Structure 1
């Protein structure tokens, strides 16, 4: 069984390219079904491939397990999904196999491969990916073991190290940058577009600075109401956004929209109404929620998720001892998984051995019953049954030993000794 990963992340691909391969949670099951159809070709070596898709702001990764690696199939499917050539995609992806794939999964779950070192959000996203793969019928024993081990390793890393201590989240980084632009955040009006986990975290961080007004614009008003109540703000319809954009000094957006929600024209009109008072905008979405051309406007300070990378890296150097400790925990986890995978690789052989022994037993028992029915002595029949079984079990070893040349005979003899002469040692 081969375990492999194909992916791209914030270190291998720019934001706009990553945006082409982002999957919302409700898109993953249909995507997995399409991926299954790619694997289920006439070539039976690619059938019954296990698969899961992990898609976050910083990465899209396909995890697979099967009798053979099928990275080229996945590469072409992903390139077609993103509307790019396989050659372009290949220049931005990483392909990892077996031990390297397991280590990568464990590092991702533990927050060591994130833009925010030690961030915990990725673990929940990984669990969501596993649930979707399982419901889509794409999660088998091998991938399930890989992910369950990754969750255990991540828990161990977070409890045994200080990897997450003093880490700066994207939300905290946005507040820090906003505070550099506005002298007093208590005098600002803040708009959050979306109501997901990332926006909720950002809203809580900004609410702690007591801005003058907070608004939540969301496609589903009920969900917006819940978040607005938590941060003592108002909820508004997403359709009201263009008309009300000028009211806000700070705009933080993170939705699952595949197209920008805030265009250049809307921001230009808002600036005109604001008489060019500055606007601070943070686009945490992948793909983008705010058109990139907005950044060129003189009175707008637009930051994307990649722009916040430098801020969130602060303090990382001081946690290198925790990183080294975490890597040791991950190494141990990788060894355990690879040992499990190696043992599981022998299961088909063990099943074949059991089936063969059952056939031998059935044949000898049938012969023994016939001899007993014909009136033969029980002891004689039992002796013949045991000899028959012994002969069948030793036949293959004897045949291999007799057929081998001088060089191979010594190695076969050692193997036979390990298998049949343990008690004699």
Structure 2
């Protein structure tokens, strides 16, 4: 399925995720927005006609029509910092039917490190929209992502798969609550990208801490976030001073290299550092300081294990919804495979109709061309409809039926 495209291209999904790669390795293959843009343009030049890519803290994946997975792996290596040797050990490759299944799982949060994480569907929407903007999204992939979005919406409204602790930002707040209770803490949030903003929101919502300070390299970004929650913002130049006054430092900077190291910490007071960045943005050397506890994203994800087991009871329900929507997609896919043959069949029947009318027109008195045309066209529609319904049945061998139709009606000779 999904392979009826030019030059024997099949639908693939290739990528790496937390399942086989730790945070550091995932960092090697993370793609910036510019990198994804350039990757899509290179694919376009190399005659791939449809490709979307996502890169989140837990996964980097490419969805595309290609002749081989190797082509997609080369594109990923060309635009990230990872090598082919590394990639071969950790890559997951899905093709055709498996790739469809995988995209449904990813988009509905069933494959997330934190089960039921609904942030991912927004990231997928954005990725496919970017592909469409660059004219790199064919009808097949557009229809598929719309089916995945529909499944995600229904799972969100019809099940409790996403109840309780979701996302890394919530997990970090859980960690603070479990280790410090509700005591008043000085919290410094360094980095106000998406994870930083979510963490901020969760901190305000779930802890009674009002002394939360934000620092970002570009101050106005931090001020926009702070304004929403009425929090304090400090200059980037004051990072060292602010760390010295904090009980908890949350790093969500999303830089390619560490932004916090041992040298920045000049305090003796106990300091908890939560690193929510991929690749890691806190240098391991902070562990050399007795007063510092460093916890990384991967460790935080384990904290939500309890919530996960509570959610697992909703997996069968979610899968039923996916199966239903996937069946609709597959019916569309099958219809699309036999659409050219149906067109040719209708065209052939119309030729037969015209020939019959022409040779019989003079044999009848008061011959009414309009009525004969209307009735004949309805008969043609009904005949074609019967064939189409037969082809849509799951248990029918579509190719055999199509071959038979081609033979009986000599459709190959028809210019449709």
Same fold (TM over 0.5): yes
Map 1:65-76 to 2 at 5 A.
65=65, 69-76=67-74
Map 1:217-256 to 2 at 5 A.
217-256=215-254
Tell me whether 1:340 sits opposite 2:332 in the alignment.
yes
Contact 2:13 2:64 in 1 (8 A): yes
1:78 to 76, 79, 83: 76
Partner of 2:58: 58
Tell me whether 1:190 sits opposite 2:187 in the alignment.
yes
1:379 to 356, 359, 362: 362
Residues 168-221 of structure 1 show CA distances to partners (whole Å, capped at 9, x for unaligned) of 4322321232234446531x2111122222212211222242325211112332
Tell me whether 1:15 sits opposite 2:23 in the alignment.
yes
- The secondary structure found in structure 2 opposite 1:172 is helix
Are residues 333 and 243 of structure 1, via their aligned partners in 2, closer, same or farther at CA, if it must alter by over 3 Å?
same
Task: Report how far residue 416 of structure 1 moved.
Answer: 5.7
Partner of 1:321: 313
Are residues 179 and 161 of structure 1, via their aligned partners in 2, closer, same or farther at CA, if it must alter by over 3 Å?
closer
Partner of 1:140: 138
Query: Distance between the aligned counterparts of 2:361 and 2:293, measured in 1?
Result: 95
- The secondary structure found in structure 1 opposite 2:150 is helix
In structure 1, runs of 5+ residues without a counterpart are: 41-46, 369-375, 383-410, 421-425
TM-score by length of 2: 0.78
Query: Distance between the aligned counterparts of 1:314 and 1:14, measured in 2?
Result: 22
Query: Distance between the aligned counterparts of 1:141 and 1:377, measured in 2?
Result: 44
Task: Report how far residue 130 of structure 1 moved.
Answer: 1.5
Q: Count residues in correspondence.
A: 366
Residues 312-358 of structure 1 show CA distances to partners (whole Å, capped at 9, x for unaligned) of 12132233321111112112222222222222233455566678889
Contact 2:11 2:63 in 1 (8 A): yes
Query: Distance between the aligned counterparts of 1:89 and 1:119, measured in 2?
Result: 25
Query: Distance between the aligned counterparts of 1:35 and 1:51, measured in 2?
Result: 8
Query: Distance between the aligned counterparts of 1:417 and 1:76, measured in 2?
Result: 40
Tell me whether 1:121 sits opposite 2:119 in the alignment.
yes
In structure 2, runs of 5+ residues without a counterpart are: 4-9, 368-399, 410-416
Aligned Cα root-mean-square deviation (Å): 3.3
Are residues 175 and 332 of structure 1, via their aligned partners in 2, closer, same or farther at CA, if it must alter by over 3 Å?
same
Map 1:138-177 to 2 at 5 A.
138-177=136-175
Map 1:236-385 to 2 at 5 A.
236-266=234-264, 270=265, 272=266, 274=267, 276-349=268-341, 379=362
Residues 258-311 of structure 1 show CA distances to partners (whole Å, capped at 9, x for unaligned) of 222112322xxx2x3x2x211111111112221233234322111111111211
Contact 1:50 1:138 in 2 (8 A): yes
Query: Distance between the aligned counterparts of 1:240 and 1:352, measured in 2?
Result: 73
Tell me whether 1:206 sits opposite 2:203 in the alignment.
yes
Query: Distance between the aligned counterparts of 2:235 and 2:260, measured in 1?
Result: 14
Query: Distance between the aligned counterparts of 2:96 and 2:175, measured in 1?
Result: 41
Contact 1:214 1:231 in 2 (8 A): no
Query: Distance between the aligned counterparts of 2:203 and 2:343, measured in 1?
Result: 60
Residues 233-252 of structure 1 show CA distances to partners (whole Å, capped at 9, x for unaligned) of 11233343244322222111
- The secondary structure found in structure 1 opposite 2:221 is helix
Are residues 352 and 248 of structure 1, via their aligned partners in 2, closer, same or farther at CA, if it must alter by over 3 Å?
farther
Residues 345-385 of structure 1 show CA distances to partners (whole Å, capped at 9, x for unaligned) of 33455566678889x79x989xx8xxxxxxx99738x9xxx
Contact 2:35 2:79 in 1 (8 A): no
- The secondary structure found in structure 2 opposite 1:52 is strand
Task: Report how far residue 142 of structure 1 moved.
Answer: 1.0
Are residues 293 and 34 of structure 1, via their aligned partners in 2, closer, same or farther at CA, if it must alter by over 3 Å?
farther
Partner of 2:414: none
Query: Distance between the aligned counterparts of 2:222 and 2:187, measured in 1?
Result: 14
Query: Distance between the aligned counterparts of 1:364 and 1:48, measured in 2?
Result: 44
